[in-house]
Amino acid sequence: MSRQSLSKAHKKITELSWEPTFATPANRFATDYRFDRAPKKDPLKQVLRSYFPMEEEKDNRVYGAMDGAIRGNMFRQVQQRWMEWQKLFLSIIPFPEISAARAMPMAIGAVPNPQLHNGLAVQMIDEVRHSTIQMNLKRLYMNHYIDPAGFDISEKAFANCYAGTIGRQFGEGFITGDAITAANVYLTLVAETAFTNTLFVAMPAEAAANGDYLLPTVFHSVQSDESRHISNGYSILLMALADEENRQLLERDLRYAWWNNHCVVDAAIGTFIEYGSKDRRKDRDSYAEMWRRWIYDDYYRSYLMPLEKYGLKIPHDLVEQAWHRIWDQGYVHKVAQFFATGWPVNFWRIDGMTDEDFEWFESKYPGWYAEYGAWWEAYNRLRHPGANKPIAFEDVGYQYPHRCWTCMVPCLIRQDMVVDKVDGQWRTYCSETCAWTDTTAFRPEYEGRPTPSMGRLTGKREWETVYHGQDLADIVTDLGYVRDDGKTLVPQPHLDLDDPKKLWTLDDVRGNTFVSPNVSLNEMSDEEREAHIADYRGRSNITPSTV
């Protein structure tokens, strides 16, 4: 279609909507935001007549690449270290995608702007596309990669693994609670606008470096729809800013959404990129460097900051704080170490780090070896069954962490842990902002103002609580992370598939009792608890090199 006929088509399509007089659409999803005074802002326009053929064309390229990868024996060159983390990543990501589709009616119901409704409806179908195209990629991996275990239980594992639960916030956060908080601020203004760059651009680059060029093909195709989604969100934001009353809520929601996305996405994607890669060229960017470019410069400085002039309060402090955690406090390294500590309850295998990795980390993050080197050496030493227990149950000077009640990533920057009695329960938080999210933001009142539509944090939020006091072998059995011989575990702390004796079985992990840090904390007397917290915050938790 020519540009002129396209703009005529857009104009024609505006004739489709009308003001109802007999009945108005059901009000399903509440919001405390107000749009009755907002001037209507239009997003990028899309006519379905050109949309469908355009997307079909993109699909054809993706499926062509898939055929080519199989014919060209791509899997002879993929790194297992990388592919194993895809078992986790691709278990999580189709859910946020489909949740984005489900979030669209929440935004449609909240914002009275038919032009925007059209854009949001097209986004809905894009997101169905993303979810199913990613499931299909995972299916292809399951069929062609050497070790299908973990891919074969994917959506079940996503639903019962602690790591899946962490990832599920990036999804449940889109579809529940205040409609605008969820479907606009959390989903579009932060998750899509800021973090899809690391997800769909930085990650694919790393995949390619590890021999997998299908992930880039699929995810670049996904990312090419994203600018329209970002434009939808931006239009809603400008409309919201038109009403002074919304600004306090926007400030609250940006703080929550920014911080939660940082906690969750940087934990996961940071780990995949830094610990899932075999590419140790010194001039390949570290996750921190990528973050600085994609998130700090492109999102924070180029997108968020200019919005200040419209009256948006930007969480400058939290952007700096996130960067501080990534750059100075080893956030990603501590998360990766935690994932590896918990390997028996994962559904993927985690490769140990080698001298070449050590060198790369040290060059990218000076001081890395002193803090994490000895622990990874212990991880390697303890990687085979027989002579020892899983590393979490051996004394390597690493104390299993408390979990953050809000973001569910553990409190790994130990000195920052916040402990508070909330709703009658002692809870731990990784940070002040996560504590604030639970105690202040997700409540029916905010700074003296009623917020009846705001959501709640629900569920059994500490994963360990579910299995407190149980034997590790029973837990792994209950989770279903056992291979088809009925005894070998899906997860392994190494990649050695050549020798069955190196593979851990249920018998190798039996006799280890799992303890919930939160249950224990709540059983302590006041003095015990205070001493425990002081010790937790003060402990270096660094494995001594003599272990």
Min. distance of Cβ 213 from other proteins in angstroms? 10
Task: Say if residues 182 and 455 touch (Cβ distance below 8 Å).
Answer: yes
Min. distance of Cβ 187 from other proteins in angstroms? 12
Residue 421 is a binding residue for other proteins (CB under 8 A): no
Min. distance of Cβ 512 from other proteins in angstroms? 20
Residue 87 is a binding residue for Fe ion (CB under 5 A): no
Q: Residue 275's beta-bridge partner residues?
A: none
Task: Say if residues 420 and 433 touch (Cβ distance below 8 Å).
Answer: no
Residue 305 binds what, of Fe ion, other proteins, Zn ion, none (CB under 5 to 8 Å, by partner type)?
none
Residue 188 is a binding residue for Fe ion (CB under 5 A): no
Residues 92-151 binding other proteins (CB under 8 A) are: 94-95, 98, 101-106, 108-109, 117-118, 121, 124-125, 128-129, 131-133, 135-136, 139, 142-149
Task: Say if residues 304 and 322 touch (Cβ distance below 8 Å).
Answer: no
Alpha-carbon gap, residue 280 to 516, rounded angstroms: 37
Q: Residue 450's beta-bridge partner residues?
A: 445
Residue 49 is a binding residue for other proteins (CB under 8 A): yes
Instruction: Say which DSSP state 425 is in.
Output: E
Residues 177-196 binding other proteins (CB under 8 A) are: 177
Residue 457 binds what, of Fe ion, other proteins, Zn ion, none (CB under 5 to 8 Å, by partner type)?
other proteins
Q: Which of 158, 157, 151 is nearest to 80 (CA)?
A: 151
Residue 404 binds what, of Fe ion, other proteins, Zn ion, none (CB under 5 to 8 Å, by partner type)?
Zn ion
Q: How many CA atoms lie within 13 A of 164 on its CB side?
A: 22
Min. distance of Cβ 45 from Fe ion in angstroms? 17
Among 122-130, 198-206, 252-260, 469-477, which window interacts with Fe ion (CB under 5 A)? 122-130
Task: Say if residues 479 and 158 touch (Cβ distance below 8 Å).
Answer: no
Alpha-carbon gap, residue 91 to 85, rounded angstroms: 10
Classify residue 6 as left (phi > 0), alpha (psi -120 to 50) or beta. Answer: alpha
Residues 425-484 binding Zn ion (CB under 5 A) are: 430, 434
Residue 514 binds what, of other proteins, Zn ion, Fe ion, none (CB under 5 to 8 Å, by partner type)?
none
Residue 72 binds what, of Fe ion, other proteins, Zn ion, none (CB under 5 to 8 Å, by partner type)?
none
Min. distance of Cβ 418 from Zn ion in angstroms? 9
Annotate each residue in 507-536 with x if it binds other proteins (CB under 8 A) or - if it does not, as one string: ------------------------------
Min. distance of Cβ 98 from Fe ion in angstroms? 9
**Structure tokens, 404:** 């953050």
Min. distance of Cβ 542 from Fe ion in angstroms? 40
With helix as H, strand as E and coil as C, how does 74-121 read?
Answer: HHHCCCHHHHHHHHHHHHHCHHHHHHHHHHHHHHHHHCCCHHHHHHHH
246-259 b/e (C-beta count within 10 Å ≥ 16 → b): beebbbbbbbbbbb
Residue 229 is a binding residue for Fe ion (CB under 5 A): yes
Residues 426-445 binding other proteins (CB under 8 A) are: 444
Sole binder of other proteins in the list 176, 184, 337, 543 (CB under 8 A) = 176
Residue 455 binds what, of other proteins, Fe ion, Zn ion, none (CB under 5 to 8 Å, by partner type)?
other proteins
Task: Please give the helix or strand (H or E) that residue 450 lies within, else none.
Answer: strand 449-450
Identify the burial level of 538 via C-beta atoms within 10 angstroms of its C-beta, where 0-12 means exposed, 13-18 middle and 19 or more buried: exposed
Interface with Zn ion by CB under 5 A: which residues?
A: 263, 404, 406-407, 430, 434
Interface with Fe ion by CB under 5 A: which residues?
A: 97, 127, 130, 192, 229
